[in-house]
Each structure stands twice: as C-alpha cells, then as structure tokens.
Amino acid sequence: MRTKIFILLILLQLIIVLALLFNILYKNQSVLVSINEISPKTIDFPYSSTFKYYYEPRPNSIQTIDPKLVVELGYPAGTQIRYKINADGLNQIPNYTATKSAGVYRIVTLGDSFTFGQNVNTEDNYPSQLEKKLNSSLKCTNIKKFEVINLGVYGYDIAYSVERYKLRGQKYNPDLILWFIINTDWTRLDELQIPKTASFDAQLQASGEEAKLEKQGIFYKGWEEAQQQILQTLGGERNILRLQKKYLESVNDYYKGPLILFNFPSQDVNSLNIINGFVKDRQHTYFYGNLANIYQNQKYYLGDSHPSSQGYTLIVNDLYNYLTQNNIIPCQK
C-alpha cells in the first residue's frame, strides 16, 4: 500500500511542476522543468491523518538532490543541495521544544514547496533565513529570541497545509502564522487529484496511447483528464473554490491567533475575493499580496520557478519590512 502511495506522490510532483510552468508570472521567460527524486526512506504517511494520501518528510532524514537535476536547475556542476529534516519532520536544522521558553516569540510557517524550500539547502529556505534575520536585526526589550518553525511541504494544497498544522503545529503554540499561498494552491485538491491522475496514467500506458501522445509533444494527459473529471464531479471551478474556502477557514479550528497570508502580486480575482473575505471576518488577520517579485531577475529563481537562495533573501527582507513597519510583532524598543 505504501509503495502505491509513494508512486502517487511522484505523480503529484509531476502535476505541481506542470502547474508551476503555466502559472509563472512572466510567460515569456525560459523555464527548465525538473523533478526531485524522492526516496521512500524520506517520506512518512501518518496513520493519524484524516486524509488517505497525506504525507510528511520523515524525521531525522537527509535528502540529497540528484546532481543532474541540480545542474538543470541552474546551479554550477558539483553543487550539492540537501534537505536536513529535523526530529519533528521539519526542513530545518534546529529542533524546537514543544514548550515555548519565556521571552521567545514563535512564528509558524505554512505552505507548499515555496515554504519548504524546494531545491535550496535547508539553511537557505525562507523560514530559516527569516529566523536569522529577526534575531540579528530586530532588538526588542520584551523578546529575547525569535523562532520560525517551517511546516511547509512540497506538493501541499490548502487542506494538507491545515492538516500539517493540526498534526504538527499546534504543540508549538505560535504567536503568529505566516502562510505563503501561491496561485496553484487554489486549483490543487491533492486528495482527489493524486489517485485520479494515477488511474488515468495507468490506462494511457496500458493502451499505448501515452507513447503516441508524447511523440506528438502532448504530456500530462492523465493530469488533464483528472482535472476535468474533478471539475465535472464538483460542478465547476466555483465549487472547487468554495471547497478551498472551507479548507482555508478550517484553520480556525486549531488556531485563533494572528495570521498573515501572502503571495506575489498576481493573485486571481476569485481567490483574492476569498482571501479578502477571510481577512475581513477573522480578527488579527492580514493579506500581503505585493511580495517582492522574484521573477523580474533570473538570479532570484531557479529553472523550475522556485526561489533561489538569493530569491528567498529578497522575500525575507520584504517580509521583515512588512512585519516591522506594520507593527505585527509587538516589539518594545
């Protein structure tokens, strides 16, 4: 059973990469598509989850990205990219205690691969860089230390991000949640998409149709068929967005404190309406939709559109300014 789920997870990565390809802000830029190799030894499927296909990075594991893929992404040959997963299954080097020490201001980050830090070293993802930036630059008499805890995982949709907080995040008792919601999160329904895509791909392979389509330059037909079936089953995009709205609001079942949603300046109008309604109805909730646009300079993003380490630095500096200029963090000087 776990082998089947692992295969479905690999298919999901294909879906995410394709979605990113078509949703990059500037359509005329050159994009190299690369897919990470995920070892079964680095993935867990918690039985405590209410979702059948929900997965997490395995605690105390290390994943090294294939050298060929590293070069595809735009790194110099010989560069090594590694994810160092800590004892709680987080893509971070420190291990954080469930009990928050006095004087600690704790931030939890939610999201997909952009939060996880796909294709950069663990110390270069945005939560790791933000923690370092806050501790080195923001001096507060009432805060001794900042902790930024990374709950992001590659391939997650909105529902899986909430599930991650439910299973892993609550015990950390955060003072603030930062949720990096990108455009493709609104069209992804992992629990439906993963098995349907696998089923359609199996049919295409068995019939020989997949090889014929690939010769014509048509890829990801199984994904497209799955998307269409989900749209029909749920009654169209409007109903999918209603479901996403429900998942977004379900975070309130597990967290009542301050929360910031943020994205690059390209939010779809329909999803933006959901965000604005969520912000309006929930206390101490903000939306920052003008995040630094990393796609204006190629040094800030990798070949598959994920931020480079320099891109994450740009994002962190922008977030830091937003947090401090709007007094989100109660820092006493």
Q: Where is average pLDDT lowest: 170-174, 211-215, 286-290, 294-298?
A: 211-215
**Cα–Cα nearest to 256, from 287, 274, 276, 282:** 282
Say if CB 108 and CB 90 are below 8 A apart: no
Which tokens hold the place of 214?
């690939």
State which H helix or E strand residue 204 sits in: helix 190-207
Query: Residue 243 pLDDT more than 60?
Result: yes
Helices 237-249 & 221-234 angle (0-180, nearest 10): 80
Residue 119 identity: N
Can you tell me whether residue 110 is helix, strand or coil?
strand
Compute the average pLDDT of residues 305-322. Answer: 96
Q: Is pTM beyond 0.75 here?
A: yes
Contacts of 274 (CB under 8 A, 6+ apart): 241, 244, 245, 248
Q: How far is 255 from 30, CA to CA, in rounded Å?
A: 40
Residue bearing the bigger pLDDT, 214 or 320: 320
* Domains of the chain, CATH where assigned: 2-325 (3.40.50.1110)
Query: Residue 111 pLDDT more than 90?
Result: yes
Which tokens hold the place of 12?
């999901």
Per residue in 86-104, pLDDT tens?
999 999 999 999 999 999 9
**Cα–Cα nearest to 169, from 243, 255, 237:** 255
Per residue in 250-270, pLDDT tens?
999 999 999 999 999 877 888
Query: Residue 36 pLDDT more than 50?
Result: no
Give the pLDDT band (50/70/90) at residue 188. confident
Residue 71 identity: V
